[in-house]
Structure 1
Amino acid sequence: MGGDNVSRIRGFCLLALAVALLAGGCATTDDREELKRLQARAAYERGLANLRDKQSALGVAALREAISLDPGVPLYWNALGLVYLEMRRPDLALVGFRSATDLDDNYAEAFMNTGIALAEMGRWEEAVGAYRKALASPTLAVAHIAYQNLGLALYHLKRYAEAEEALRFAIGLEPKMEGAYYNLGLVLVAQGRREDAKRAFRHARDLAPHSPFGEAAVGQLKALGDGG
């Protein structure tokens, strides 16, 4: 009987030791994962610093490092996409933005950026869908920009009534957005509403006379016989 007790005690001790070792192994794995997350965040921050210093190649490398360490963070993919947009590579940007939205179906900013990348490639119908997805989210902080971009995409699709509605909504949200007035002018010209178009172009010119939109509005007004 005593031997049986010793055997049971020894067996219990071995089991306890095995559990302890397994627990220790899990903790070590968790520690490694946490370290990778911290390293990824550091790489992301370094990438942003590189981009602020206009070092695009280093910024891309750092963001790719962050993604390789922690690929499940949508923020990193979206940031990489934005860099590629700045580098005029919408095709590569689109991969980043779509990776971000695949990870987070409620990532409104990434959906809006997806629309921008698609628009840069002239894929207007798809851009409309991406902008609408972004606008459906209550978390979108720049709805006025999304509505302006939506209006421009609809203009290119010759869906002028919808384009006008989107652009007027953008102006209602941000009355000092000269780009929305300029694009509205284009829509109105396309509809043959010359006087309404002139008013829109004047707004764009008066809001920001030295901006690209303001200067383009002057050209449009001259073409409409207004003199700018």
Structure 2
Amino acid sequence: MARNKAKFDGQVSTHLQITRNCISFLHKLILYQRFTYICSPPLVERSNSHRVSTVYWSPPTYPYIKINTDGSFAPFGAGVGGVFRKHFGQCILYFQASVCVVDALEAELTAVYWAITLPKMNHWHNLIIKGYSEVLLQMLQDRRQDSWCHAQWANKIMCMLSTLKARLAFIYREGKQPANWLARNGLYIVESLVSYTPPLSFFCWLEML
């Protein structure tokens, strides 16, 4: 009411008049029992579209080797990392390196390339390679690349995969924390690291999954 008077009649109400009108309106709501639940906390509708999933690492079946990879990209550089584990769950190889790439997708492609190159050098042919990038997996599956640098990595990867008994699969970030740790630390190392024996700090990550 006060707003309409000010807008159409040019009459400005005082703050006391506005306060009195508001109190009078609230009394009417209480008197006529409108908005019975006006003072009750709002009800939160539960949606069935969301569900909680347990994410954990599971060992491969014999004779496969499961490889978790990750690429970490930042404005000042990029790092890659990967963990190789056999059916009994023990780490048999890991790598981390600082790489020069143009975006996060190229970092993920580089990590997968390392994950295939190292097993070929060790004559390991039964591989399960798991990464977090759904874009990468879809790109390799469809054989379609948007940029020249991505196409070069993808062609190398698919060519090497054709000589191995290997498959690519998706894994949630929570299930590949060791590879993520290696990739993030790979941002800051000077020389690439490939080893069969994980350090104590990295061994703790392995035991968490």
TM-score, normalised to structure 1, is 0.22
Q: Larger Cα Rg: Structure 1 or Structure 2?
A: 2
Structure of higher RCO (CA pairs closer than 8 Å, 6+ residues apart): 2
Q: Which structure: greater helix fraction?
A: 1
Q: Which structure: greater strand fraction?
A: 2
